[in-house]
Amino acid sequence: MPLNYILSLILICLYSSIGTSQEKERPNVVLIITDDQGFGDIGIHGNPHIKTSTLDALALESTQLTNFYVSPVCAPTRSSLMTGRYSLRTGVRD
């Protein structure tokens, strides 16, 4: 093999390894699910009687997912969220 061919192959390998060694920064995700709490049970959603200053501050600096449809009890809701399946298909009922 000619020397130029070998040097070119080495440079291509080095260049490709440099591009793959840098990982893209992934976002930190913290998902908070509370038990037995309705949408209107915290101050940021308009409840004037319950003081939830810590949750309100967290909500103001976070992304809120407000269109999540839940089951009547918490276990099927958690199983649905963890698996991505409809709650009745997870096998968790109560």
Q: What is the pLDDT of residues 8-67, one digit of tens each?
A: 666 676 666 555 555 678 888 887 777 778 788 889 989 999 899 998 998 899 888 777
Token pair listed for 26 = 């992934």
Residue 36 and residue 24 in contact, taking contact as beta carbons nearer than 8 Å: no
Residue 47 and residue 64 in contact, taking contact as beta carbons nearer than 8 Å: no
Check residue 26 and give its pLDDT: 82
Q: How far apart are CA 63 and CA 75, in angstroms?
A: 24
Residue 62 and residue 72 in contact, taking contact as beta carbons nearer than 8 Å: no
Token pair listed for 39 = 């949408």
Q: What value does the mean pLDDT take over residues 73-91?
A: 86
2 — pLDDT class (breaks 50, 70, 90): low
Check residue 40 and give its pLDDT: 86
71 — pLDDT class (breaks 50, 70, 90): confident
Query: Helix/strand/coil (H, E, C) string of 8-28?
Result: HHHHHHHHHHHHHHCCCCCCC
Token pair listed for 91 = 């096998």
Check residue 19 and give its pLDDT: 54
